[in-house]
Amino acid sequence: MPEGHIIHRLAKELNETLGKRPVHATSPQGRFSAGAEVLNGERLVKADAFGKYLFCDFGLDQILHIHLGLIGKLRRLHAPIPEPVGVIRLRLEGDDDAWDLSGPTRCDLISPDEMESIISRLGADPLRRNSDLIQTRELLRSSRKPIGARVLDQDVIAGIGNVYRAEILFLCGISPLRPSNTIKDDEFDCLWSHTVELMRIGKRLGRIVTTDPTEIGKPRGRMNDSERLYAYKQEHCRRCGTELVVAKVGGRSIWYCPTCQPG
């Protein structure tokens, strides 16, 4: 599933590629024909991301709401724009670039009030400024759930997915099994600061890279897939060599080092 960094990157690229002229909107698959008709000929005023939600404002009384879910994709195409391939829910075509949306969990037109209601249910987004961190910390600790599950709760922190949670807990030396209400202030600060830093790097690079360039011996942009992560789907701890443990936490697999993440 695309994590928050990808949605923020998509919003930025949509603004850069579609914001200047009216778009040509179609639904090659047909399931969003009525919606595409509303958007056709309009200009994108602003695309914005909140956690894993993407909202595109075309200056109408309805806002395009997209959630990619587990398998959804929003792909950028360059001119000359090819014929649609596969099941494309929505194509937004500008002068030089086009975007194809396939397999989303949500793609619909909603009112500004509905958008506000979705945003109001989301927790702090590490890629947006002005989060209330004291409130976020207390909310995170208000549950006895394992911390590995709690950081996936989008109403606490919006945007973290399965890869980032494994990496951030590893870097902070916190076992994913610890009850959330045992997380100390300095541990929360560590979780938050790593989340912000790593998701900013991920947004810039378009992929998740959490390892330290000095540890790997090359810049992040040149790391290959076997070098860019500490814990997620790894066999041994990159730092101490211990075999990693795989556990189901929050219904999904997480990898952690029992030595570096005790408790």
Active site residues: 2-3, 52, 252
Site for Zn ion (CB under 5 A): which residue of 14, 44, 158, 237? 237
Question: Is 62 or 259 the residue whose CB approaches Zn ion more closely?
Answer: 259
- Single-letter code of the amino acid located at 73: K
> Cβ 213 to Zn ion, closest distance in Å?
19
CA distances from 22 to 18, 55, 97 (A): 8, 17, 12
The reply on whether position 85 binds Zn ion by CB under 5 A is: no
Site for Zn ion (CB under 5 A): which residue of 240, 248, 253, 263? 240
Q: Which stretch binds Zn ion (CB under 5 A): 28-36, 179-187, 203-211, 234-242?
A: 234-242
Question: Is 144 or 239 the residue whose CB approaches Zn ion more closely?
Answer: 239
CA-closest candidate to residue 54, choices 88, 103, 9: 9
Q: At CA 63, angle to CA 25 and CA 72, rounded to 5? A: 65
Q: Which two tokens stand for residue 126?
A: 């590490």
The reply on whether position 259 binds Zn ion by CB under 5 A is: yes
Q: Which two tokens stand for residue 3?
A: 């994590």
The reply on whether position 171 binds Zn ion by CB under 5 A is: no
The reply on whether position 260 binds Zn ion by CB under 5 A is: yes
Q: Which two tokens stand for residue 144?
A: 């006895």
Q: Which residue has the tokens 């909140």?
A: 50
d(CA 109, CA 66): 9
> Cβ 231 to Zn ion, closest distance in Å?
9
Q: Which residues bind Zn ion (CB under 5 A)?
A: 237, 239-240, 242, 257, 259-260
